[in-house]
Amino acid sequence: LRGIWEALSAIFVSELGDKTFFLTMVLAFRRGRVMALLASQSALWLMTAVSCCIGVVLRSFPSSLGAQPVINATAAALMLLFGVQSLREARDASGGGALGEAPAEECRGEKDEAECEIDSELTKVDANRFLEWLRFAVLIFLAEWGDRSMFVTVTLAASRSPVGTFLGGCAGHFAAATLAVLSGGLLEKYISDRLVRILGGVLFICFGVTTLLGVY
């Protein structure tokens, strides 16, 4: 199950301070922890499965042409790119402010956008708990589509074990969502957004180097 620990750590760090992290946190405030976990994990685990399938397709295509090193080199390049991007975002972060800290304007920043989207969904009153869960799950799924953690999962599935990537990715999403649900507003007061991005950048660069060297 190569890739399980890489996926777990990469997804966990990627999700801290991400939009889906705050969607889960705000949903826990408004609709309870159980609803928040059910909606977020059903959406994120489905996204993880879809991403792993994409990774398998990308992996099998060059293999059929006898060019597996091409996909490994591409995966390494993407991870290095994610790492550099995270470090640049950390450098541009304003003075190590609190996680999710945003300007005073409404719906600016990851947390404010999450609150606005949850408030928008809550205006659609529905007594059916299943339909309510479905709405929030779709909201989180769409928020995750095209996100960095999706591309990380695709990359890892293409260069590591898809099963290990899926299990590690699901575990990483669950750990981050549980932290979002249980921590409430405490986490954003004590963890710097800059620190999270530095940790993510270092992790991605390490994974990129090990992929390039074939050490995994």
CB-side neighbour CA atoms (13 Å) of 184: 4
Question: How far is the C-alpha of 7 from the C-alpha of 71, rounded, in Å?
Answer: 18
Residue whose structure tokens are 């890489």: 6
Structure tokens at 38: 């059910």
Q: What is the pLDDT of residues 143-156, one digit of tens each?
A: 888 778 888 898 88
Q: What is the pLDDT of residues 12-63, one digit of tens each?
A: 988 876 778 888 888 887 778 888 899 999 999 999 999 999 988 887 765 5
Q: What is the pLDDT of residues 107-141, one digit of tens each?
A: 555 666 666 776 666 665 555 778 888 888 888 89
Average pLDDT value for residue range 186-210: 71
Which of 172 and 88 is assigned the larger pLDDT? 172
Q: So what's the pLDDT on residue 105?
A: 46
Q: Where are the alpha helices (DSSP H) in the chain?
A: 4-15, 19-31, 33-64, 68-92, 109-122, 129-144, 148-159, 162-183, 186-190, 193-213
User: 21-30, 67-76, 203-212 — which is least confidently predicted?
Assistant: 67-76
Q: pTM, whole model, 2 decimals?
A: 0.72
Question: How far is the C-alpha of 21 from the C-alpha of 166, rounded, in Å?
Answer: 19
- Name residue 164's amino acid: G
Q: So what's the pLDDT on residue 208?
A: 75
Question: How far is the C-alpha of 143 from the C-alpha of 44, rounded, in Å?
Answer: 10
Instruction: Provide the pLDDT confidence category of residue 104 given band limits of 50, 70 and 90.
Output: very low
Question: How far is the C-alpha of 76 from the C-alpha of 208, rounded, in Å?
Answer: 4
